[in-house]
Amino acid sequence: MTQSKTTQNMPSMLPHIQALDTYEGVDPMEVMAERAGISPDKIIRLNGNENPYGPSPKVAGALGSYQNFNYYPDPGQRSLRRVLSGYLNVDQEMIVAGNGSDELIDLLLRMYVGVGDNVIIPTPTFGMYSFSAGICGGEAIPVERDENFEIDLEAMKAAITPKSKIIFLTSPNNPTGNIVPESQTRALLDTGMIVVMDEAYFEFCGETAIPLLSEYKNLVVLRTFSKWAGLAGLRIGVGAMDPELAATMMAMKPPYNVNLAAEVALITSLEDTPGLLVRVKQIVAERDRMMELLGKIPNLTPWPSRANFILCQVPEGQGQAIFDGLCSRGIFLRYWSSGRMKDFIRTSIGLPSETDAVVQAFSELCGGNNAA
Ligand SMILES: *Cc1c(COP(=O)(O)O)cnc(C)c1O
C-alpha cells in the first residue's frame, strides 16, 4: 500500500472531538466467546439489559413479508407517530421517533448545547448523556447521588450555572434501578432547564412523567423499544415533548433516521403489546426471584430494582477480580473499573437458567466458604 500524500493544508480536528472518550458499547457474542475461550452458545450475555425472549414472534413474519424496502421511509413519520400517539397517550404533534433513544438524546443536545455550555447529570447513570454532550463541545456536570443513590436535589440546583441547558433524569435509573420521585421531577422542572426524563425501563415499573407534559413545556420524555419490546438491534426509540420543540426536532433530524425495518417491527410490536407485556411480567417475576437468591449470598448486596437489571455490590476492592471470575466462566455482566462504582457489577435479568448460573458464580466468587 502506498503512503497517502500528506497535505500542508489539512485542517485540524475540533479540539473537543479529539478529546472524546469512546462510548463503551456491548461487544458481539462471538467476541465475548473468543475472549472467554468458550463456544458462543454457552455464553451468558447479561451486560446490555437486552430482552432474553427476543422480539414479538410476529415481527419476523412482518419483516419477511414486507414488500417495500426499496422505498425510503416517511421523513414525516406519519404512521409511526400515529401508533406512537396511542402508545404514549399524547398528540402526534408531540412525538419524534429516533434511531434508538440514543439519537434523540443526541438531537436534543444539538438543539441546546454548544461549545462551553453544560448539562447536569446525577451520577452514576447512563453514559450516553455525557458522551453525546461531549460531541457538542458541552461539559457534563456530574452531581453525585447520595448513599442510597437518590438524587441530591439541593446539589443539583446548586450545580446549575448560566451555561446550563439540560438536566438528564433516568427513571428507573440505569444502573441503580431506583425511580425519580415526582416531587423531585417537578422541583427540577421548576428550575426552567430542559429536563429529559429517560424512561427506557418504563414497562418494567409502570411509573411515568408523561402526564406532566401538559404542565411543563420544558419536559422531554424518552422511551425505547430496545428493552421491553426486544428491538435493540433494530434501533428505535421515541420522544414526547412540547409540539414546538417536536416540530424543530422533526425539521433538524436526518430525514430517514428511522429505517423501514424498525418501523415495521415497531408497528407489529404495538399490535402485539399484550403478548410482549406477558414477557415483561415474566422478567419482573424473574428479577424478584433473582433478588431473593442474590440476597442470600454472603458479602453480596443486591440493590432493589424497578427495571430489568440488578446492581450488585461486592466486597471492597474485589470488583475487578469478581468480574474477571465471571468472564472466565463465560458470564458477561456490566462492570465499571473506576470511581465510586468499582465494587459494583450490574446483571441484566435473563432466562431462569441464566439467573441460576449467575447466582452460582457469585456464590463461588463472593461467598468464600459459604458458597451454596
Ligand atoms: C438502554 C438505554 C437506552 C438506550 O436506548 P436505545 O433506544 O437502544 O438507544 C437509553 N437510556 C437508558 C437509560 C438506557 O439504559
25-79: pLDDT as tens digits: 778 778 878 888 888 889 999 999 999 999 999 999 999 999 999 999 999 999 9
> For position 36, what pLDDT does the model report?
81
What CA–CA distance (Å, rounded) separates 245 from 252? 11
Q: Cell 414479538 maps to which residue?
A: 56
Mean pLDDT confidence for 356-366:
97
pLDDT above 90: percentage of residues in the chain: 88
- For residue 1, what pLDDT is reported? 59
Q: Is the pLDDT of residue 253 over 50?
A: yes
Q: Tell me if 156 CB under 6 Å of ligand 1.
A: no
Rounded-to-integer distance, Cα 216 and Cα 189, Å: 7
pLDDT beyond 50 at 178: yes
Q: Is 254 exposed, middle or buried (0-12, 13-18, 19+ CB in 10 A)?
A: exposed
Answer yes or no: is pLDDT of 3 > 80.
Answer: no
Q: What is the mean pLDDT of the chain?
A: 95
Contact 217, 194 (CB under 8 A): no
Does the structure show a pLDDT above 60 at 106? yes
Percent of the chain with pLDDT over 70: 98
Instruction: Evaluate: CB of 230 within 6 angstroms of ligand 1.
Output: no
Q: What is the pLDDT of residue 9?
A: 84
Q: Is the pLDDT of residue 368 over 60?
A: no
- Residue 199: exposed, middle, or buried by beta-carbon count in 10 A (0-12, 13-18, 19+)? buried
Please give the pLDDT value at position 370.
Answer: 41
> How far apart are the CA of 228 and the centre of ligand 1, in A?
11
Q: Is residue 238 a contact partner of residue 228, using CB atoms and an 8 Å limit? A: no
Q: Pick from 223, 266, 218: which is nearest to 89 by CA?
A: 223
Find the 129 Cα to ligand 1 centroid distance in Å: 10
Ligand 1 centroid, distance to 371 Cα (angstroms): 35
Q: Which of 24-28, 85-89, 91-95, 99-103 has the lowest mean pLDDT?
A: 24-28
Q: What is the pLDDT of residues 331-348, one digit of tens each?
A: 999 999 889 999 999 999
Q: What is the CA(189)–ligand 1 centre distance, in A?
A: 22
The two beta strands, 334-335 and 344-348, are: antiparallel
> What integer pLDDT is reported at residue 371 of this predicted model?
39
Mean pLDDT of 340-357: 97
